[in-house]
Amino acid sequence: MTAEYKVHGSIAVITMSNPPVNGLGLATRQGIVDGLQRANADAAVKAIVITGAGGAFSGGADIKEFGTDKSMQEPNLHSVINAVENSGKPVVAAIHTVCMGGGLELALGCHYRVGAPGCQVALPEVKLGILPGAGGTQRLPRVVGVEAALNMIVSGEPVKSEMIGAVPGQKLFDKMAASPETLAEEALAFAASVADVRPLPLVRNLPCKHPEGDAYFQFARNMVKGMAKNFPAPAKCVDAVEAATKRKFADGLAYERELFINLMWTPESRALRHLFFAERAASKIPDVPSDTPKRDIQKVGVIGAGTMGGGISMNFLNAGIPVTILETKQEALDRGVATIKKNYEAQVKKGKLKEDKYAQRMALLSTTLSYDDLKDCDLIIEAVFEEMGVKEVVFKQLDAVAKPGAILASNTSTLDVDKIAAFTKRPQDVVGMHFFSPANVMKLLEVVRGKETAKDVLATVMAVAKKIKKTAVVSGVCDGFIGNRMIERYSQQAGFLLDEGCTPQQVDKAIEKFGFAMGPFRMGDLAGNDIGWAIRKRRAVEQPDMKYSKTADLLCEMGRFGQKTGAGWYDYQAGKRDAIPSDVVNKMIEEHRKTLSVAPRKVSDEEIVQRLVFALVNEGAKILEEGIASKSGDIDMVYLTGYGFPIHRGGPMHYASEVGLFNVVQAMNRFAQNPMDDASAWTPAPLLVKLAAEGKAFQ
């Protein structure tokens, strides 16, 4: 049963019941139509209420059905709404908690709407790369006005029901219930009060005009152009709403349907739908049930008051969790606290943070030079220098002072968490929490699961991540975990491209045109080229055969560490971040090519993009195969939230599936023939070969 039918006196109540959010899947749609037929056939029924069970009126069309036959199967949402509009007896929507997408469109088809306060009302389809496809663009402007409707449709953002209900002249809600608790009763009373009204009011019959007509829509188009960038849907939303003001209702509806279907098949929409599910799936760990008991996290300790330690601390302060920062020297503590204050003050200045909130957050912060002061912390995160010897000292001290059951986390970005855990007598309590810089801004948190990490530690850290508003992705232990292990292959290709004839700006431009927030060389300058240098030096000992371009080492030998030294792959003017192509660097690259006896060749943008992205994909496939990531969506989330991979491409693994894994393997085989490249890096991962041969995509 996905829609229940009950009669209360003379009122029939159809309750959508399709957890978790009463998505309008086929069975629910059928249930509503059946309920309407029953109610219309029953002479004792005078009016009908449609509502939703549990925590939603309806979250809209069932997104899981998209791309399957079920989404189009009759009764489709249009037919359901037609059945509602054509009901001979009044239909009242009793709306609460969540009323979104197709759910709102269904409500707009009802003759009347009673709303509960606190309900999130939205047409969020644009966030899935589509537009409302069941009349939302035609009916919403008729009840809340063209501008308000277009704002909601183009942004997809929810608006609280009581805000809409309070706007004079709005026709979305015929009545606002006093509270969510009284909604059912008030909706029944309202339905009884309109039982005899004829003709029944229909939103489609309301007028729809904008006083400035063309000028307004031109303005809207210009606004949308700037913000929509790589996504076609927002501009189509404007077209559809404009049609509501210019065409007959039925024509507008048909036009909206056409736009909806076209958008549904765009790669951008597929990417956003993938992202929707990948984001939610990332928080689920296959062998850690969602009801795993969690440890209580009341107080957090952070070791290290540097850039990372400070940023990490701010996350917890922002969430109202007290933090004690430990350092070895008072000056370092003072510097760290001053940086935190500076960050908050900048937010206050921009009006993003209120003075009293700032004061509250700072009041939660304490500092210490003694490990003893961390003994009442429930979670202690180490953010000290990235060197195993240093981690050993820290974890041995933590083991000596931390209370039993405290979670001991390392912010290491590459080191072996199992080795770190072995410095303690409680490896089950040790986990990696790899934040990305700036840690108070970046969404991504890699949660590194050691071989002995306890399940309740993982469950707790995932819950904490949600509390501090991070997208947490679980990674197994390997060098660099998911993100940095893959980026090394990407950087390796970027270096080879310089050796073969590219300039840093050509490589950056090509990949930025593909949609990356920043190319590898601008990124290196921002993060600090010395970080990669240190890793390469370590690698040179561990994997002496690994082939890579020496240009990055030569750059560092010139002291060009990036923005922090005013020079890196690019030149920088004092106090500015604009990357200016550098003659010195280009000369260094040319000279290096001469030492390799390489005649530079013209490399196409397509080759640049494929080599950089497919290098990520191949390593991603190995990570998946080894079980370091449990699903390909997790790898995509890491790249979308931590590495500036273009959202409209859906992440490297999704993008590869879109290109076709067979084509990806073919390209890799081609690249392996290039004598300047590292052929071993292009041996396709067995999983990739298998899926390509089977004509499948990454799961």
- Residue 132 or 427 having the CB closest to ligand 3H9: 132
Catalytic residue among 4, 74, 125, 147: 125
Rule CB under 6 A: is residue 124 a binding residue for ligand 3H9?
yes
The DSSP letter of residue 53 is: S
What is the three-state SS of 601-618? CCCCHHHHHHHHHHHHHH
Q: What are phi and psi of 159, to 5 degrees?
A: -120, 140
CA distance 190 to 193: 5
Identify each DSSP E strand in 383-454 by its residue range.
407-410, 430-435, 444-448
- Residue 84 or 314 having the CB closest to ligand 3H9: 84
Rule CB under 6 A: is residue 133 a binding residue for ligand 3H9?
yes
CB of 61 to ligand 3H9, least distance (A): 3
Rule CB under 6 A: is residue 100 a binding residue for ligand 3H9?
yes
Structure tokens at 407: 């979670």
- Residue pair 371/341 in contact (Cβ under 8 Å)? The answer is no
CB of 132 to ligand 3H9, least distance (A): 4
CA distance 166 to 173: 10
> In this chain, which of 28, 35, 108, 125 binds ligand 3H9, going by CB under 6 A?
125
Residues written for the chain: 699
- Binders in 34-73 for ligand 3H9, by CB under 6 A: 59-64
Nearest C-alpha neighbor of 11 from the set 90, 71, 123, 99: 90
Rule CB under 6 A: is residue 272 a binding residue for ligand 3H9?
no
Long-range contacts from 414-418, C-beta under 8 angstroms, 24+ separation: 414/386, 414/479, 414/480, 414/481, 414/484, 414/535, 415/386, 415/388, 415/391, 416/388, 416/477, 416/479, 417/448, 417/449, 417/450, 417/453, 417/477, 418/450, 418/451, 418/452, 418/477
CB of 157 to ligand 3H9, least distance (A): 10
- Is residue 125 annotated as part of the catalytic site, yes or no? yes
Catalytic residue among 85, 105, 157, 258: 105
- Residue 326 or 462 having the CB closest to ligand 3H9: 462
Rule CB under 6 A: is residue 620 a binding residue for ligand 3H9?
no
Burial grade of 296 (CB within 10 A; 0-12, 13-18, 19 or more)? exposed
- Residue 64 or 469 having the CB closest to ligand 3H9: 64
* Three-state SS at 12: strand
In sequence order, what are the residues at sequence separation of 6 or more whose Cβ sits closer than 8 angstroms to the Cβ of residue 519? 504, 507, 508, 509, 510, 511, 512
Rule CB under 6 A: is residue 466 a binding residue for ligand 3H9?
no
> In this chain, which of 52, 90, 101, 483 binds ligand 3H9, going by CB under 6 A?
101
> In this chain, which of 31, 52, 102, 165 binds ligand 3H9, going by CB under 6 A?
102
- Residue 257 or 593 having the CB closest to ligand 3H9: 257
- Residue 100 or 612 having the CB closest to ligand 3H9: 100
The DSSP letter of residue 647 is: G
CA distance 164 to 168: 9
Spell out, one character per residue from 535 to 564, where the chain touches ligand 3H9: x when CB under 6 A holds, - when not.
------------------------------
For tokens 């968490």, what's the residue?
Answer: 417
In sequence order, what are the residues at sequence separation of 6 or more whose Cβ sits closer than 8 angstroms to the Cβ of residue 250? none
CB of 42 to ligand 3H9, least distance (A): 29
- Residue 115 or 124 having the CB closest to ligand 3H9: 124
Rule CB under 6 A: is residue 77 a binding residue for ligand 3H9?
yes
Residue 536 burial (CB count, 10 A): 18
CA distance 677 to 478: 24
> In this chain, which of 109, 115, 136, 650 binds ligand 3H9, going by CB under 6 A?
136
Spell out, one character per residue from 637 to 676, where the chain touches ligand 3H9: x when CB under 6 A holds, - when not.
----------------------------------------
In sequence order, what are the residues at sequence separation of 6 or more whose Cβ sits closer than 8 angstroms to the Cβ of residue 571? 579, 580, 581, 582, 584
- Residue pair 14/31 in contact (Cβ under 8 Å)? The answer is yes
Rule CB under 6 A: is residue 105 a binding residue for ligand 3H9?
yes
Rule CB under 6 A: is residue 253 a binding residue for ligand 3H9?
no
Spell out, one character per residue from 9 to 28, where the chain touches ligand 3H9: x when CB under 6 A holds, - when not.
-----------xx-x-----
Rule CB under 6 A: is residue 352 a binding residue for ligand 3H9?
no
Structure tokens at 511: 């990949």
CB of 29 to ligand 3H9, least distance (A): 10
- Is residue 607 annotated as part of the catalytic site, yes or no? no
CA distance 118 to 503: 55
CB of 201 to ligand 3H9, least distance (A): 22
CA distance 540 to 558: 20
> In this chain, which of 134, 259, 263, 300 binds ligand 3H9, going by CB under 6 A?
134
Rule CB under 6 A: is residue 636 a binding residue for ligand 3H9?
no
For tokens 């601390």, what's the residue?
Answer: 313
Spell out, one character per residue from 194 to 233, where the chain touches ligand 3H9: x when CB under 6 A holds, - when not.
----------------------------------------
CB of 165 to ligand 3H9, least distance (A): 19
Rule CB under 6 A: is residue 109 a binding residue for ligand 3H9?
no
Which residues of this protein are in contact with ligand 3H9, per CB under 6 A?
Answer: 20-21, 23, 59-64, 77, 98, 100-102, 105, 124-125, 128, 132-134, 136, 280
Q: Which residues are catalytic?
A: 105, 125
